[in-house]
Structure 1
Amino acid sequence: MLPYVLLFVGFILLIKGADFFVEGASNIASLLRVPSILIGLTIVAFGTSSPEATVSIIAALEGSAEVSLGNVIGSNIFNLTLVVGIAAIIFPLKVETETIRKEIPFTLLASAALLVVMGDVVLEGLSDNYITRSDGLVFLLFLAVFMYYVIEVALKSRNNSLDEPTPENITWGKNILITVLGLAGIVIGGEMVVSNGTEIAYQWGMSETLVGLTIIAIGTSLPELVTSITAALKKESEIALGNIVGSNIFNILFVLGTSSVITPLAVNGKVFMDVYIMIVLTLVLLIFSRTNFRVGKREGSILALMYVIYLVYIILRN
């Protein structure tokens, strides 16, 4: 009975934490005079990716490479389909030109890089596929390039809006506190949902592989889901989409980069199909984003349905 109670408490912490986090991050964007999309791509994305980072790094330290890799790929697929889908169904997601031209293609590049570093058997004729420490360092260098781009765009945007009046009734102290409390709620809530959801899954007789691909991947992506839904309800659609795109970039480059630097990650052959699916879904999001510069209810419904199909596929596969 206790795991069910703790699971419920975890969901409550996630929902309230995400609400605080979006509110605080939006107000900080106003104070910094930078677009909401950039806050979504950095502070919100990094914050909501923290459960993936925690789970994957702990898994790497314990030698569970499949959990580490499956968690990231499963979370990214969940983000691209159900998170974008539900957020778009609630409120059509406005897509900035820069997101189409640079940020989504960067996600595509990171996904392609992951596919390349995984392919040791095909590309180098080795007996096993590994994401090595040097591969992890390359990912972290990619992340540094992305962060440089984001900061440069933020500074340029800030310089262009220096003449605008400072927002009234918005203070630094209060919003930093709200953002930190929100982030704490997201991290603690996400951890409670994952650990107790996994325990419940084992009680129901699910296999470890299936738990990793479903419960852990979905559980660690709940912050993205709740944050993006909250942002969509508040009509902060740039934060909703920026959060998803940024989270997927952080998941591959930061989470896998850090995990593989700690210990080389062995790659299960089944995971290649999931990476192909992730790349195709990123392309689908890019195509949808180019239609009227928004992801509408129809596109959102298609993406949500794609996740249901994917879930059925991995359950049958395993």
Structure 2
Amino acid sequence: MSIIFLIIGLVLLVKGADFFVEGSSSIAKRFNIPSMVIGLTLVAFGTSAPELAVSVSGSLNQANGIVFGNVVGSNIVNILFILGISAFISPISIKSKTIFKEMPFAILTTVALMLMVMDGLINGDPISVVSRSEGWILLLFFAIYLYSMVEIAILGKEESEGEILVLPVPKSILFTIGGLVAVVFGADLVVNAAIEIATILGMSETVIGLTIVAIGTSLPELITSVVAAKKGENDIAVGNIVGSNIFNVLFVMGVSGVIFPIEIATENYADLWILLAAMIIVVPMMYTSKKISRWEGAVMMLGYVGYSAFIIMRAIS
């Protein structure tokens, strides 16, 4: 039954986020909010809503392993598997600002998180903690990041990708509220089912978070990036992944840390190092010929397969 509840929860998360974005974007458009601003805020929030909902629910239930595994696991899925499969479907052209601004900032946020959680290594403790004060610091940096993105979009007069559909007011409200309820309820189902599965299999919550939960909550990014790659909309395919990684570290981990301090076992430092290494390795791939080729995409996907094997071996050893 736990697996059935997990699947139902993931479906509610993905579809709920989709309905929430559609409804709330329609309402925002009625108030004449620029499409670019909506894309950078509501749409970005929507694709990361599953990670946020699961992490918040995990934090409320003090399931630290799921919170950490969900954020770090989702980012590894994004950078290796989703970006890899998108490039494998169609080579992705990369803009200079992605190489020299957005990716370095995403790497910087990962390094900042590593410094926060590695106090156990420095002090010799078996457990590290992302405290409430550190959670607030992450949220402060997220507010600065979001403000700068919106300001750049408005001053640069950039156009958003695609038109936002304006729905009737009752339908917009129904989609917004219904989508939000589905996301919250789905997150609760996913967290409870994940805890039960971890208990039954004798695995840690972190392993479940790094694998099943991370892949499930990354489905919106996967769908968005793959569809964008097929259409040749490279900015969406890449921006969606890089932006989601920044959102996950700064906002999702920040909110979760503020709700309840997140304890992280020192054995999970390896996952952070793997995430950092993956992001650093991807930058030269982006720089060469200013695109990620099919074979590079295949290498990235194989890298994720190797990481999955590493998690499984660590869990059973």
Question: Which band: TM-score by shorter chain?
Answer: 0.7 to 0.9
TM-score (norm 1): 0.79
Equivalent position amino acid for 1:233 in 2:
K
Question: Is the Cα–Cα contact under 8 Å of residues 35 and 164 in structure 2 kept in the other structure?
Answer: no
- Please state if 1:269 is matched with 2:266: yes
| Matched residue, 2:224 | 227
- Please state if 1:91 is matched with 2:87: no
Identify which range, 294-303 or 123-132, moves more after superposition.
Answer: 123-132
Question: Is the Cα–Cα contact under 8 Å of residues 127 and 265 in structure 2 kept in the other structure?
Answer: no
Report % sequence identity: 37
SS in 2 for 1:63: coil
Match of 2:247 among 242, 246, 250: 250
Alignment of 1:237-316 (within 5 A): 237-316=234-313
Shift of the 44–240 alpha-carbon distance from structure 1 to 2, 3 Å rule, reads: farther
Equivalent position amino acid for 1:143 in 2:
F
Alignment of 1:157-172 (within 5 A): 157-158=156-157, 172=166
**CA distance in structure 2 between the aligned counterparts of 1:103 and 1:90, rounded to whole angstroms:** 23
Equivalent position amino acid for 1:115 in 2:
M
Shift of the 218–277 alpha-carbon distance from structure 1 to 2, 3 Å rule, reads: same
TM-score (norm 2): 0.79
Shift of the 9–273 alpha-carbon distance from structure 1 to 2, 3 Å rule, reads: closer
- RMSD value, Cα: 3.9
Shift of the 4–59 alpha-carbon distance from structure 1 to 2, 3 Å rule, reads: closer
Q: Structure 1, residues 72-119: CA drift from partner, whole Å, max 9, x if none? A: 111110111111111111222222221111111111000000110112
Shift of the 191–261 alpha-carbon distance from structure 1 to 2, 3 Å rule, reads: closer
**CA distance in structure 1 between the aligned counterparts of 2:151 and 2:235, rounded to whole angstroms:** 18
- Per-residue deviation at 1:274? 0.4
- Please state if 1:218 is matched with 2:215: yes
Equivalent position amino acid for 2:80 in 1:
T
| Matched residue, 2:7 | 7
Alignment of 1:110-259 (within 5 A): 110-123=109-122, 128-158=127-157, 172-173=166-167, 177=172, 187=183, 191=187, 194=190, 198=194, 205=201, 207-209=203-205, 210-259=207-256
- Per-residue deviation at 1:213? 2.1
Unaligned runs of 5+ in 2: none
Shift of the 254–177 alpha-carbon distance from structure 1 to 2, 3 Å rule, reads: same
- Per-residue deviation at 1:211? 2.1
Question: Is the Cα–Cα contact under 8 Å of residues 112 and 279 in structure 1 kept in the other structure?
Answer: yes
Shift of the 92–169 alpha-carbon distance from structure 1 to 2, 3 Å rule, reads: closer
**CA distance in structure 2 between the aligned counterparts of 1:62 and 1:267, rounded to whole angstroms:** 15
**CA distance in structure 2 between the aligned counterparts of 1:167 and 1:48, rounded to whole angstroms:** 15
**CA distance in structure 1 between the aligned counterparts of 2:161 and 2:246, rounded to whole angstroms:** 31
Question: Is the Cα–Cα contact under 8 Å of residues 45 and 246 in structure 1 kept in the other structure?
Answer: yes
**CA distance in structure 1 between the aligned counterparts of 2:290 and 2:193, rounded to whole angstroms:** 37
Question: Is the Cα–Cα contact under 8 Å of residues 74 and 214 in structure 2 kept in the other structure?
Answer: yes
**How many residues get paired?**
305
**CA distance in structure 2 between the aligned counterparts of 1:185 and 1:303, rounded to whole angstroms:** 35
SS in 2 for 1:267: strand
- Per-residue deviation at 1:180? 5.6
